[in-house]
């Protein structure tokens, strides 16, 4: 049986999207028949609870937590505590690979952590999954890129820039993010979903799910909401701090509802309740315009609801004009026009949603894991 060790310097469960991706990929790797260990740091976590239950994944992989110097709960010197926590975790992982050398040398090591690849543990093969790149090819990136065996990236934009860094093309695989179709295969109607969530039955709902970082573009959707007072705009997601700041920006807009974080098992119900789902990514930052592969995009497709999206290369890697309606990034008026278009062309928009649903059937975590492990066998 193939052994895979997934190393994640992450607080899990977490309200951030990377937690979902890590848990789903570990489940998917295990689903291929691999023996999977997920290695996490011991961290103070305000989100207590069982990892498997929270993410809705099978107990098909082991979770091992390693010591780390965790002072991130302190309200000061955050950069210093983050550095010390990261270094201590990477060092413990490195030592563990020496202590259990035979096990690690026979294993595939998979990680999203830069320092793990720059100072790698022993492994049969080391795979580095990359979600963003620095503006310059720094020494630590050069060290990491030289030491890994394979690179998995989530967009063509990342691959293009890695090639510009001098990485050989055969070392790179593009694997977009994915979705758990079974999780979104719910039988409730839109009316039933709204009743369960206590959402209005008589209003058209435009919805966004995800974080409220600037590059996610939620403020552009908020600006569009100010031009559409007859619709109901719902924002699901974000940290407590970001939600509070966003609520201040939405003050006085009674048709806007800012709900904050919801557990992953609730998201399918919210998407089912919507009339339109929006991906308003900003075009001002490279991570948004060229690097990202938003998990919400695949969840929207699985929800079979009309999608409106920023017209960006990163989004166009998955959607096209036959599966979504596009608007000019960072342009609230363009987004408003797109919202009005979708409501005025309901049948055409529903057909696009159906085509998006058919396309997303090829974008599952299971197929992504199989593709990546096939690369290892090559």
Q: Identify whether residues 267 and 331 lie together within a single domain.
A: yes
Q: Are the CB atoms for 267 and 273 separated by under 8 Å?
A: no
252 Cβ neighbours under 8 A, 6+ residues apart: none
Give the Cα separation of 354 and 363 in Å (integer): 15
CB atoms within 10 A of CB 203: 14
Q: What is the CATH number of the domain that holds 291?
A: 3.40.50.2000
Domain encompassing residue 295: 182-360
Residues 6+ apart with CB under 8 A from 145: 128, 151, 162, 165, 167
Total-model pTM = 0.95
pLDDT of residue 76: 80
- Are 196 and 172 members of one domain? no
Give the bridge partners for 116, in sequence order. none
Q: Is 278 left (phi over 0), alpha (psi -120 to 50) or beta?
A: beta
- Same structural domain for residues 70 and 103? yes
Same domain, yes or no: 206 and 338 = yes
What pLDDT score does 75 carry? 81
**pLDDT at residue 77, rounded to an integer:** 84
Do 226 and 134 sit in the same domain of this protein? no
pLDDT at 78 (0 to 100): 83
Report, as ranges of residue numbers, the positions in the chain whose pLDDT lies below 70: 377-378
* Whether residues 118 and 221 fall in one domain: no
Q: Are residues 286 and 254 in the same domain?
A: yes
Asked whether residue 343 falls in the same domain as residue 222, the answer is yes
In a shared domain, residues 135 and 271: no
Same domain assignment for residues 20 and 164: yes
Q: Are residues 95 and 25 in the same domain?
A: yes
Say whether both 151 and 262 belong to one domain.
no
Quote the number of domains for the chain.
2
CB crowding 75-84: b at 16 or more within 10 Å, else e? eeeeeebeeb
pLDDT at 368: 98
Helices (H) and strands (E) in the chain, counts: 17, 13
């Amino acid at each position: 049986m193939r052994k895979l060790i997934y190393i994640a310097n992450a607080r899990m469960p977490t309200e951030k999207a990377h937690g979902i991706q890590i848990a789903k990929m570990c489940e998917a790797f295990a689903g291929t028949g691999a023996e999977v260990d997920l290695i996490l740091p011991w961290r103070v976590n305000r989100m207590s609870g069982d990892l498997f239950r929270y993410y809705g994944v099978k107990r098909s992989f082991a979770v091992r937590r390693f010591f780390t110097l965790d002072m991130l709960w302190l309200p000061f010197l955050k950069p210093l505590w983050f550095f010390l926590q990261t270094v201590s975790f990477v060092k413990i992982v490195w030592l563990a690979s020496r202590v259990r050398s035979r096990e690690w040398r026979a294993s595939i090591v998979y990680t999203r952590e830069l320092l793990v690849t720059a100072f790698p543990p022993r492994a049969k093969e080391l795979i580095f999954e990359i979600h963003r790149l620095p503006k310059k090819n720094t020494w630590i990136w050069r060290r990491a890129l030289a030491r890994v065996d394979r690179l998995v990236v989530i967009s063509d934009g990342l691959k293009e820039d890695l090639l510009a860094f001098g990485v050989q093309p055969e070392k790179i695989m593009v694997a977009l993010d994915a979705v758990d179709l079974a999780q979104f295969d719910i039988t409730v109607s839109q009316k039933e979903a709204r009743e369960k969530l206590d959402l209005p039955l008589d209003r058209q709902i435009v919805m966004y799910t995800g974080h409220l970082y600037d590059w996610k573009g939620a403020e552009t959707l908020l600006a569009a909401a100010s031009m559409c007072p007859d619709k109901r705009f719902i924002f699901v997601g974000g940290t407590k701090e970001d939600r509070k700041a966003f609520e201040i920006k939405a003050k006085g807009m009674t048709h806007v509802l800012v709900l904050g974080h919801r557990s992953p098992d609730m998201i399918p119900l919210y998407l089912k309740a919507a009339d339109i789902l929006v991906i308003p990514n900003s075009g001002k930052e490279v991570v948004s315009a060229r690097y990202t592969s938003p998990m919400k995009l695949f969840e929207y497709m699985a929800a079979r609801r009309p999608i409106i999206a920023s017209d960006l290369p990163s989004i166009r890697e998955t959607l096209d004009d036959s599966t979504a309606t596009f608007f000019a990034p960072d342009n609230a008026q363009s987004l408003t026009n797109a919202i009005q278009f979708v409501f005025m062309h309901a049948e055409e928009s529903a057909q696009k949603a159906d085509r998006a649903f058919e396309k997303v059937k090829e974008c599952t975590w299971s197929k992504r894991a199989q593709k990546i492990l096939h690369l290892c066998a090559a």
